[in-house]
Amino acid sequence: MLDVAIIGGGPAGAAAALSLRQLIPEATIAIFDAQRGERWKPGETLSPGVAQLLQSLGCWPAFEKENAALESFGTQAAWGTPELYARDFLYSLRGNGWRLDRSRFDAMLLDCAGTAGVEVRRGTALMDSTKEDGTWRLQLRGAECCARFVIDASGRSARFAMQRGAKPIASDRLAGVFVLFETPHAGDTLIEAAENGWWYSTTVPGKTAVAAWMSDTDCIREMRLKESDCWNALLAQSTHTRRRLRGAVARGVPAIFAAHSQRMSRMGGRGWVTAGDAAMTFDPLSSQGILKALRSGKLASFVAADFLLRGADTHERYTQLAAAEYDEYERAKRMFYSEERRWATAPFWVRRQAAG
């Protein structure tokens, strides 16, 4: 019998485990991660303020030792104007951030959790879950377990929450089509608005550049952007993104990842709570995805600790805080998109102006 089962081995799940280990040193905690090994993931920016969180979780020395990040001081943007201008981290964050090798960062967090005495089980995706006599019974790929409390940190799929009847509430249809490049040149994040979306590009450790076209799923499908020729033709129409990638060599074909903003209709119940992307997801423009995941994982651990130590059910307060954070994020997102008015009749921008 586990005290806490954490579904998902990303930043939110690892943060929840590390925080719980501090709150209840004797607790039995396990992370069940659906991934069997490392793979490249989008979301490679750590926004300012994360250093304090990593220090509070006891991970800062490991982060510095891993050397899997490049320091970043802001963003170059061609947004609302064809000219590039310097913009500190969007949504008024302060200080410097980091551009990550995301796979190494996630692995570092899981290693920290393992060192702290948390059991880490890989390749164990959640299949089914039931509750009997106040105990959760989890059926996972290749494993079964019972737990007093469950933290769903399974990402956008929110597997455990969905099995409790929760539904995703999306506010847009944003997705990204990215290509990795080999390049000797370093550089901060660059954002370039265009007629039916915007370009995102940055460099990360390992002489790697990432370029992604961000647009709505129907626009991506109509433009056939999973085809390399179509993606490259669109890149050739850009100005600043094309220039920064001059001489870079593509490492593969375009791949699509979900990037829409959403929150779950339920973020918790008695004996369970969501964390990270299983609770809510942010637009990549915010550069807050990983910071949000770490913070919500830590807050979710407080809900679990209250339940285990006092029998208290504080998930409603957690849900209120998360909902308020999401509402504030949506206001900031609408304000930022409203700054771009050069393509007032293009479907992508019409939708953003209507939402505002």
**Architecture (CATH level 2) of domain 2-68+100-170+261-334:** 3-Layer(bba) Sandwich (3.50)
Name which residue leads in pLDDT, 162 or 41: 162
How many whole angstroms separate alpha carbon 110 and alpha carbon 121?
10
As a whole number, mean pLDDT of residues 159-175 equals 98
Per-residue tokens: 93: 């964050």
Handedness of CA 297, 302, 306, 309 (dihedral sign): positive
The residues pairing with 137 across neighbouring beta strands, listed in sequence order, are: 130, 146
Give backbone dihedrals phi and psi of 181, rounded to 5 degrees, phi first. -130, 150
Dump pLDDT digits (tens) for 177-226: 999 999 987 788 899 999 999 999 998 888 889 999 999 999 999 999 99
Dump pLDDT digits (tens) for 89-137: 444 444 567 888 888 899 999 999 999 999 999 999 999 999 999 999 9
How many whole angstroms separate alpha carbon 150 and alpha carbon 116?
19
Per-residue tokens: 260: 């829409």
CA angle 319, 320, 322 (to 5 degrees): 65
Q: Are 211 and 179 in contact (CB under 8 A)?
A: yes
DSSP-assigned letters across all residues of 262-311: EEES--EETTEEE-GGGTEE--GGG--HHHHHHHHHHHHHHHHHHHHHH-
Dump pLDDT digits (tens) for 331-352: 999 999 999 999 999 999 999 9
- Give the start-to-end residue ranges of the domains of the chain: 2-68+100-170+261-334
SS3 119: strand
Q: What is the pTM of this model?
A: 0.93
